[in-house]
């Protein structure tokens, strides 16, 4: 499991992979206490929509664009007052972005923390926002309305690279052929009481955003994040939330067997060079506002 070291700045706490959190050095962080995150559920639990059923007819074959079908199912669940939109095992290509309405949970087949080596689970293939010039403010791949959540699937960016162009330790041909691209946040909370559970972000640029809109009482649990820039952003306008069993690591991408991963090209951690691995593993940050005492950290 990744370890996190928190160093205080006046605007945010930067947490880098590699060290434990030391609460003695975090401004006003004590007393931190362990409090399990509350269990969040969708409204109208009896309403279950399978995206592969009519009239939605998502394919999950990694080729057809399933974005419209998934969004149609999400919208229908929202109109019905809430419910669960289920993504059976498969690879769902999504060319645009998705919005999860109030009271709705988008859920896949993962029943545990992560499954990056298992292609027989639920994966969303994200194509939107490729190499955006505004990764911090552009529309997120998944936007959660108030009281909405996601659970049990992976998000993979098939067009993402893995070589840092600024790292002289990486051979020039690899840097030019597989550059890291900027993407918007994978997940953004647009309201309070949202949840992210058992979700894996395999090779994003920005991970989860709780800083653009007040996202009080958010829950992120059992989640693995590989993000080249920011893993989790908790802004100053968010008051209270839970971050538990969250791992920030490059391993999900390097060990992935999806197309365009380093593994597929025959690369592994040892072959990319140690300096590049340090760059990848330390670049993703966990940004937290000065309301840190109200963020429950295990």
pLDDT in tens, 190-207: 999 999 999 999 888 889
CA distance 103 to 43: 5
> Phi/psi of residue 124, each to 5°?
-95, 125
Segment 113-141 shows an average pLDDT of: 83
Place of tokens 């969303």: 124
- Token duo for residue 10: 């006046």
Per residue in 270-293, is it b (16+ CB within 10 Å) or e — as a string? eebbeebbebbbebbbbbbbebbb
Task: Quote the CA–CA distance of 76 and 101 in Å, as a whole number.
Answer: 9
The pLDDT of residue 228: 78
Is residue 99 scored above 90 in pLDDT?
yes
pLDDT tens figures, 268-279: 544 444 444 434
* Distance, CA of 180 to CA of 154 (rounded, Å): 19
Task: Report helix, strand or coil for 129.
Answer: coil
pTM: 0.80
Q: Which of 17-26, 165-174, 177-186, 221-230 has the highest mean pLDDT?
A: 177-186
- The model's pLDDT over 136-171, given as tens digits with 9 standing for 90+, comes to 999 999 999 999 999 999 999 998 887 766 666 666
Sign of CA dihedral 201, 206, 207, 208: negative
Comparing 74-83, 95-104, 225-234, 269-278, the range with the smallest average pLDDT is 269-278
Is the pLDDT assigned to residue 8 strictly greater than 60?
A: no
What integer pLDDT is reported at residue 238 of this predicted model? 78
Q: Which residues contact 227 (CB under 8 A, 6 or more apart)?
A: 186, 201, 204, 205, 206, 207, 248, 284
């Amino acid at each position: 499991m990744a370890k996190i070291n928190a160093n205080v700045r006046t605007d945010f706490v930067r947490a880098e992979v590699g060290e434990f959190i030391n609460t003695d050095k975090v401004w006003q962080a004590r007393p931190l206490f362990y409090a399990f995150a509350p269990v969040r559920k969708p409204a109208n639990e009896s309403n279950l929509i399978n995206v592969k059923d009519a009239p939605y007819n998502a394919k999950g074959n990694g080729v057809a664009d399933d974005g419209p079908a998934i969004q149609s199912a999400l919208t229908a669940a929202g109109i019905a007052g809430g419910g669960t939109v289920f993504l059976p095992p498969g690879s769902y290509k999504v060319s645009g972005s998705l919005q999860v309405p109030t009271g709705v949970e988008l859920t896949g087949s993962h029943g545990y923390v992560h499954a990056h080596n298992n292609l027989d689970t639920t994966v969303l293939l994200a194509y939107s926002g490729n190499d955006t010039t505004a990764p911090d403010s552009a529309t997120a791949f998944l936007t959660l309305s108030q009281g909405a959540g996601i659970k049990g699937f992976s998000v993979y960016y098939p067009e993402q690279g893995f070589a840092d162009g600024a790292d002289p330790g990486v051979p020039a041909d690899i840097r030019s052929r597989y550059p890291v691209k900027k993407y918007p946040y994978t997940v953004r909370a647009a309201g309070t009481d949202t949840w992210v559970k058992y979700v894996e972000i395999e090779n994003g640029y920005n991970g989860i955003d709780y800083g653009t809109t007040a996202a009080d009482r958010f829950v992120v649990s059992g989640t693995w994040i590989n993000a080249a820039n920011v893993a989790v952003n908790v802004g100053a306008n968010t008051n209270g939330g839970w971050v538990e069993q969250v791992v920030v690591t490059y391993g999900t991408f390097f060990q992935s067997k999806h197309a365009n991963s380093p593994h597929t090209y025959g690369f592994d951690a040892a072959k990319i060079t140690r300096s590049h691995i340090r760059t990848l593993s330390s670049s993703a940050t966990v940004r937290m506002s000065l309301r840190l005492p109200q963020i429950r950290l295990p």
